[in-house]
Amino acid sequence: MTVTAPAPSATQAPANEVLLDFSNVEMTFPDGTIALQGVDLVVKRGEFVTVVGPSGCGKSTLLRIASGLETASQGSAELGTDRIGYVFQDATLLPWRNVTANVELLAELHGESKKDRSVKAKEAIDLVGLNGFEKHLPKALSGGMKMRASLARSLTLDPELFLFDEPFGALDEITRERLNDELIKLFNAKNFAGLFITHSVSEAVYMSTKVVVMSGRPGKIVETFDVPFAQPRDPDIRFTPEYAALVGEVSHALRKGHGHS
């Protein structure tokens, strides 16, 4: 298959610009469940931060607060931009719209002209490698292609902060690795900041510049790892001892945070 690697963004914004700043964020649901407690997290431009943690530890809640879908019970969650992309766990494509119409949706909701959104959709479809499938309805696409379409839809907003809620969780291993590589390419080309939620430690270490490990409920950050590997990532780092060692360390922290020793 042909993957298009985009050219680096022409307008490079200042590095180290804080795009997401969580300070002592706490989330208590109406039924009294404490989902998050004392979460401090900063995501800067050029960073790809991945959050790993056991099921139900509040990872998704973290993302929902960042996006504004939920409001933190305590603490502050500040955003440095209003250009936010959000990729859901499911592709959430509208089944009655074909790929192009789905990709155009967000620009359409923002009231952009038909011509503008058509140009943006075409670019985004090129970027995610869905050329030739523009007229396909979602039901004719594989899981991976649906996710690509979903990614393309968010790309039309040209987000500065990209939030990913376990987007590749339901995909098979090969598709997932392939999409990991393509997302890294996009990250390097588009210069956005990423906050990525996943269950998979190897995916987290492979993709991110920083891995944040959360404990079981109530979700707290137990450890943060800087990932030293250079970007753009060489897919072969997956087979290096350094990578394996870091995956081991993160897994260890995850088990500790989950009550295993």
Partner 1 sequence: MTTISNETTVTDDTGNVEAHPTPELPATLTVSKPRAKKSNLGRWLPPLLVFLVIVGVWYLISLFVLDPHLRFLLPLPQDIIIKGFIDPLSFNALIVALYQTVIVSMLGLAIAIVLGVVWAIAMSQAKWIERSLFPYAVILQCIPILALVPLIGFWFGYEFQSRVLVCVMIALFPMVNNTLFGLQSVDKGHKELFALQGASRSTTLLKLSLPAALPAIFAGMRISAGLAVVGAIVGDQFFRRGTPGLGILISNYSSRLQGEQLFATIITAALFGVVVFWLFGLLGRRAVGKWYDFT
> Which helix (DSSP H) or strand (DSSP E) does residue 250 occupy?
helix 241-257
**Cβ closest to partner 1, residue 178 vs residue 220:** 178
**Cβ closest to partner 1, residue 19 vs residue 213:** 19
**Which residues make Cβ contacts (< 8 Å) with residue 160, sequence separation at least 6?**
13, 19, 45, 80, 81, 83, 84, 192, 193
Residue count, binding to partner 1 (CB under 8 A): 52
Name the segment binding partner 1 (CB under 8 A); options: 5-13, 48-56, 202-210, 218-226: 5-13
Query: Encoding tokens for residue 146?
Result: 């649906």
- Write the burial class of residue 67 (CB in 10 Å: 0-12 exposed, 13-18 middle, 19+ buried): middle
Please report how close the Cβ of residue 195 comes to partner 1 at its closest, in angstroms: 15
Please report how close the Cβ of residue 226 comes to partner 1 at its closest, in angstroms: 27
| Integer Cα distance of 167 and 87 in angstroms | 6
Name the segment binding partner 1 (CB under 8 A); options: 25-33, 136-144, 196-204, 215-223: 136-144
Name the segment binding partner 1 (CB under 8 A); options: 34-42, 62-70, 202-210, 213-221: 62-70
The residue type at 168: F
User: Among 156, 180, 188, 202, which residue sits at the site for partner 1 (rule: CB under 8 A)?
Assistant: 156
* 7 lines the binding site for partner 1 (CB under 8 A): yes
Residue 152 dihedral angles phi and psi, to the nearest 5°: -60, -40
**Which residues make Cβ contacts (< 8 Å) with residue 10, sequence separation at least 6?**
none
| Integer Cα distance of 161 and 177 in angstroms | 22
* 15 lines the binding site for partner 1 (CB under 8 A): no
Q: Interface residues with partner 1 (CB under 8 A)?
A: 1-7, 9-11, 67-69, 84, 86, 88-90, 92, 94-96, 105-106, 108-110, 120, 123-124, 126-127, 129, 137-145, 155-156, 158, 171-172, 174-175, 178, 189-190
